[in-house]
Structure formats: structure tokens, C-alpha cells
């Protein structure tokens, strides 16, 4: 029974545990609940990936209603991979969360915090597994509303304004998606994505469908913080509690990318999206702008969280660059990049959370000579930074390698050049961290500052280890990504 209902349970388990978490009054109990659920979600994600790898796409009719009348859960390789990313990050961040949350939040908010975390997890997973365009909107709102709350729980009052700005932009994005879905429905009479894919070609020369496409694309671009719609992102990441920065940076924008892939390749089809609408050209320019401006701005930041946030803007650019190529190799590179970047950014933000716990600041000038006092944390930042640059034997190298290869395959050598050039920019801002933490003498004494607790160090290093492992042996990941990409690009071919 459990296995046959796995697709539903993947979302229902965190959904049900959220209200339970609220009922558990004690902060410790709420944390234990969130931890157990996160691990259960990881187990289910692995089982689901295995099922998809063995049997192909899994479909699950909710309420047992046949499609397109009922809502369908549909999990292909891409969905299974993205679920795995979310599940890994959730499972790693929860053991880490206890200390960090205890220090950064008031006791009375901790129950609500874990409840919102579970709701956010539910929303993100729900977006990925669903095969229904409107159901996607509903779960998008669950994840968005809970992220607004999570961000607003940050200590600084600017967390409130960051959450408000995100709420306004996020709601505009969601409303754009709603308009787009409405127009799609208007022209086809269906909301099921597979059914839409079948029915849209008959009407895809209408102006209504083109506008629908434009609206969902813009709406999703806000969610995934594609340049120039990224302005909500930096403040949201900076002023949120550390655990929220980790979780959102590693998962939320990735899910946005997933939705983009789903729309371009599954719902509208390669031909319409890229040949008729030329979306590839548009997002390629935006992605290049994102890569360059994100990296450039990151260089000049003195707050490490802000630096990493702008770095995220750039990294999202790389991922979108792969998608913009619209080839099997390009999309595969995008998916590999998405996976690896979640691991890298997760690890980096985790290390920052450790520093935040001990130092209460992540300003570069406060970090001078930190290597002596927090060697493992600083080492994690350096290892993560190397992966971010794309040094061989790290996951970052694999993603950039495949991206450059895909660009060259498409004959776009200037693109490969841009990737390399912006990697140099990454070297600069990573070097700034190295210089401050390793080579500058501490200006004033920091008595009592010591290594981050083991409960935070271990999860951080677990992600770093995964990074290094993928850097050495990426075969499984690239194999799965190739399968996913082939299905996406091939699916739409007549």
C-alpha cells in the first residue's frame, strides 16, 4: 500500500505533519517532528527515484479520478531528481537547524517556524510532482506564503520589509501565472499538463496562447529570480534566519527553474517555445546579463550573505543558459548545474550560519583571521568556494564542464567564453573571503569564539563531501540528467 501510494505520500506526509507540528507546543518536539518528516521525505524521494528509473514515468490519479477530470501526480526523471534535491537539503538542514534556530529565534516562534518550514517543503514538493497547471498554482502559493513568514522571522527589522517586498513581487508573479493558466484553459478547456500538451498545438498560432505563454514565463521568472526580476532575492536571503537562507537558496529558485523546464518543454513543447516564440534567445540574453551582473556585484559586497545572494543570481543565470540552448546536452547541463548548485549553495550558507552563531555577524571585516578559531567552518567555505568557481575535482567543475561542452556543441563559443570569464569573477570574490579569513590578522580579540557545534559542522561537511564525490564520480548524476533531458527534449518532437 505504501509503495503504490508513494507519489501522494511524498507530499501528504509533510502536509499532515505541519498541523501536528503546530500542536506540539514544545520547541524541541516541533524540531523533532520536522526532523523525522524531513528524513522520511528523503527515504520516499530515493524510493520514488528508484521507481522512476526502473519503470519510467509514474502517474497517480488523486481521488482515483481519471485525467483530465481529476488532478494527476506525474513524476518523470526530471521531477524525481528535483524532489531528491529538495529532500536532501531538507534532510541535511534539519539536524543543523536546532542550534541555529534556538539562537536566532524567540522560543515562542519556534513552533510556528518549523510548521512553516514543513509547509514550505510541502509546497515545493507539491509543485514538482503535480501534473495539473492549477494545482501547481495552489502549491506555489503554499510554498510562497510560508517562505514570506519564514523570512519575516529574521532578527533584523529589514527582514520584515524583505518579506513584504517578496510578498508583493511573489503575488504579482503568481497572479501572472494564474492569468496565463486561465488563458491556456480558455483555449483548450483543460488544466492537465499532458492534455494541454496535446491540445495546445492545435491553437498555438493564436495570439491568446502566445500571450498565455508570455505571462506564465514572466510569472515563473519572478519566482526563480531571473535577472532583472531578481530584486526581491538579495534582501530575502540576507535578513532571513540562517536556516531559511540555506533552505530557500538551495531549493526555492531550483523549483522555479523546474517549472520553467516543465512549461517550455512539456506543456508548450520545444517547437512552440523556442522556434515560434524565440524564448531561447530572450532568456539567453537575460541569463548572460544575470551571470555578469550577479558576479560583478558580488565582488563588491562586504556582507558574505549578500555576496552569496548575488552569486545566486549569477548561478541561476548559468542554469537558465543551459535551458536556453534547448538541446539535449544543454538541458542536461542545466539540470546537472541545478543539482550541484543546490549542494554548493546549501553548504556555503550552512557555513555562514555557523559563523553567524558564533560571531553574530557575517561582515567581511569581522572575519579577519577566523581560520584559527573556526578552521573547519572556514575550510568548508573555501571548499565550497572552489566548487563555486568550478575547480576540477569538485561538483562545480562538472556542471561548468557540461555547460561549456553543450555551448560548444551548439557552436556558441562566445557563450563558453562568458562562462569562463565569469568564473574568473567568481575567483575574485571567493579570494576576498580566503584573504580575510586566512591571511588577515584578527584586528581585535574575539574571546570565546570557537568552532561551530558538531550538529552544524557535520551537515555542512556532508554537503561538501557530496560535492567532492560528484566531482570525482559524476556518472550516476549525469546519466540521470541525460535521461531526464532526453525525455524533455524528445517528448515534444512529433
Partner 1 sequence: MQHLVDIVLLGLLMITGFAIVRMRSLLAVTMLTSIYSLFSALLFVVLDAVDVALTEAAIGAGISTILLLATVALTTEYEKVPSHRSLLPLLVVTLTGAALIYGTLDMPHYGDPNAPVHRHVAPDYIEDTPEEIGVPNVVTSVLASYRGYDTLGEVTVIFTAGVGVLALLGVHLRKRTEQPSDYHKLVVLRVIAKLFFPLILLFALYVLFHGDYGPGGGFQAGVIFATGFVLYALTHGLGNAERVIPPALLGILAAAGVLLYSAVGIEGMLLGGKFLEYNVLADDPVSGQHLGILLIETGVGITVAAVILIIYFGFVSRRPGGADAQDPS
Partner 2 sequence: MSTLLGHYNYWIVIVLMMTGFYTVIARPNLVKKIIGLFIFQTSVFILFISMAKVEGGTAPIIEEGYSLYSNPLPHVLILTAIVVGLATTALGLALVVRIQEAYGTTNEDDIHVQDETD
Choose, by CB under 8 A, the member of 32, 160, 203, 292 that binds partner 2: 160
Q: Which stretch binds partner 2 (CB under 8 A): 46-54, 180-188, 226-234, 348-356?
A: 180-188
Rounded to whole angstroms, how far apart are CA atoms 401 and 416?
10
Among 1, 64, 107, 157, binds partner 2 (CB under 8 A): 157
- Of 8, 292, 299, 428, the residue at the interface with partner 1 (CB under 8 A) is 8
By CB under 8 A, the count of residues binding partner 2 is 25
Q: What is the 3-state secondary structure (H, E, C) of 393-459?
A: CCHHHHHHHHHHHHHHHCCCHHHHHHHHHHHHHHHHHHHHHHHHHHHCCCCCCCCCCCCCCHHHHHH
CB 290 within 8 A of CB 314: yes
Return the residue of 20, 40, 155, 164 that touches partner 2, per CB under 8 A: 164
- CA distance linking residue 135 with residue 192, whole number of Å: 9
> N- to C-terminal Cα distance for the chain?
37
The position carrying cell 568550478 is 390
Q: Which regions of 17-176 does DSSP assign to beta strands (E)?
A: 58-61, 72-75
At its nearest, how many Å lie between partner 2 and the CB of residue 267?
17
Which partner, partner 2, partner 1, none, binds residue 158 by CB below 5 to 8 Å per kind? partner 2
CB atoms inside a 10 Å sphere around CB 278: 11
Q: Which stretch binds partner 2 (CB under 8 A): 131-139, 271-279, 298-306, 415-423?
A: 131-139
| The only residue of 186, 282, 408, 472 in contact with partner 2, by rule CB under 8 A | 186
Contact residue for partner 1 among 38, 190, 217, 460 (CB under 8 A): 190
**Does the footprint of partner 1 cover residue 152 (CB under 8 A)?**
yes
Which of partner 2, partner 1, none has residue 178 at its interface (CB below 5 to 8 Å by kind)? partner 2
For residues 107 and 28, give the distance between their C-alpha atoms in angstroms, rounded to a whole number. 10
The binder of 168, among partner 1, partner 2, none, by C-beta within 5 to 8 A per type, is: partner 2
Distance between CA atoms of residues 98 and 111, nearest Å:
12
User: Which residues, in sequence order, are CB contacts of 88 under 8 Å at separation 6+?
Assistant: 42, 45, 342, 343, 466
Residues from 16 through 35 that contact partner 1 (CB under 8 A): 16, 18-20, 22-23
Query: Which of partner 1, partner 2, none interacts with 375 (beta carbon under 5 to 8 A by kind)?
Result: none
Mapping DSSP to helix (H, G, I), strand (E, B) and coil, where does residue 35 land? helix
Answer yes or no whether residue 107 interacts with partner 1 by CB under 8 A.
no
Taking the C-alpha atoms of residue 89 and residue 104, their distance in angstroms, rounded to an integer, is 20
Residues that bind partner 1 (CB under 8 A): 1, 5, 8-9, 12, 15-16, 18-20, 22-23, 60-65, 68-71, 108-109, 112-113, 115-116, 119, 122, 126, 134-135, 138-139, 141-142, 145-146, 148-149, 152-153, 179, 183, 185-191, 199, 203, 206-212, 214-215
Amino acid at each position: 500500500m505504501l509503495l503504490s501510494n508513494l507519489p501522494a505520500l511524498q507530499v501528504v506526509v509533510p502536509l499532515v505533519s505541519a498541523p501536528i507540528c503546530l500542536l506540539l507546543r514544545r520547541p524541541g518536539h516541533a524540531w523533532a517532528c520536522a526532523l523525522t518528516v524531513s528524513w522520511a521525505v528523503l527515504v520516499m524521494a530515493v524510493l520514488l527515484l528508484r521507481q522512476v528509473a526502473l519503470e519510467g514515468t509514474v502517474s497517480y490519479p488523486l481521488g482515483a479520478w481519471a485525467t483530465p477530470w481529476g488532478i494527476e501526480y506525474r513524476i518523470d526523471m526530471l521531477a524525481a531528481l528535483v524532489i531528491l534535491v529538495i529532500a536532501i537539503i531538507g534532510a541535511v538542514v534539519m539536524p543543523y537547524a536546532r542550534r541555529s534556530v534556538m539562537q536566532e529565534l524567540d522560543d515562542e516562534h519556534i513552533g510556528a517556524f518549523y510548521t512553516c518550514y514543513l509547509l514550505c517543503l510541502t509546497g515545493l514538493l507539491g509543485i514538482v510532482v503535480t501534473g495539473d497547471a492549477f494545482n501547481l498554482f495552489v502549491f506555489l502559493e503554499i510554498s510562497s506564503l510560508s517562505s514570506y513568514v519564514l523570512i519575516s522571522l529574521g532578527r533584523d527589522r529589514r527582514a520584515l520589509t524583505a518579506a513584504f517586498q517578496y510578498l508583493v513581487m511573489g503575488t504579482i508573479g503568481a497572479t501572472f501565472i494564474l492569468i496565463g493558466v486561465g488563458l491556456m484553459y480558455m483555449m483548450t478547456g483543460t488544466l492537465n499538463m499532458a492534455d494541454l500538451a496535446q491540445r495546445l498545438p492545435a491553437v498555438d498560432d493564436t495570439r491568446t496562447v502566445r500571450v498565455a505563454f508570455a505571462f506564465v514565463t514572466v510569472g515563473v521568472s519572478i519566482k526563480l529570480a531571473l535577472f532583472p526580476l531578481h530584486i526581491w532575492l538579495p534582501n530575502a536571503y540576507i535578513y532571513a534566519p540562517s536556516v531559511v537562507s540555506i533552505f530557500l537558496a538551495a531549493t526555492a529558485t531550483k523549483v522555479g527553474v523546474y517549472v520553467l523546464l516543465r512549461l517550455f518543454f512539456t506543456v508548450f513543447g520545444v517547437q512552440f517555445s523556442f522556434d515560434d516564440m524565440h524564448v531561447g534567445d530572450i532568456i539567453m540574453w537575460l541569463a548572460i546579463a544575470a551571470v555578469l551582473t550577479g558576479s560583478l556585484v558580488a565582488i563588491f559586497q562586504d556582507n558574505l550573505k549578500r555576496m552569496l545572494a548575488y552569486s545566486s543570481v549569477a548561478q541561476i543565470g548559468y542554469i537558465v543558459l543551459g535551458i536556453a540552448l534547448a538541446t539535449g546536452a544543454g538541458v542536461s547541463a542545466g539540470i546537472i548545474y541545478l543539482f550541484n548548485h543546490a549542494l554548493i549553495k546549501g553548504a556555503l550558507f550552512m557555513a555562514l550560519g555557523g559563523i553567524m552563531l558564533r560571531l553574530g555577524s557575517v561582515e567581511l571585516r569581522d572575519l579577519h583571521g577566523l581560520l584559527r578559531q573556526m578552521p573547519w567552518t572556514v575550510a568548508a567555505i573555501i571548499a565550497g568556494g572552489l566548487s563555486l568557481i568550478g575547480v576540477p575535482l569538485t561538483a562545480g567543475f562538472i556542471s561548468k564542464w557540461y555547460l561549456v561542452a553543450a555551448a560548444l556543441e551548439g557552436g556558441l563559443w562566445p557563450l563558453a567564453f562568458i562562462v569562463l570569464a565569469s568564473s574568473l569573477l567568481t575567483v575574485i570574490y571567493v579570494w576576498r573571503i580566503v584573504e580575510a579569513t586566512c591571511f588577515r590578522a584578527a584586528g581585535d580579540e574575539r574571546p570565546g569564539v570557537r568552532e561551530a557545534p558538531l550538529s552544524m559542522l557535520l551537515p555542512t561537511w556532508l554537503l561538501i563531501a557530496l560535492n567532492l564525490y560528484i566531482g570525482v564520480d559524476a556518472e550516476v548524476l549525469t546519466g540521470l540528467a541525460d535521461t531526464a533531458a532526453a525525455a524533455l527534449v524528445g517528448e515534444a518532437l512529433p
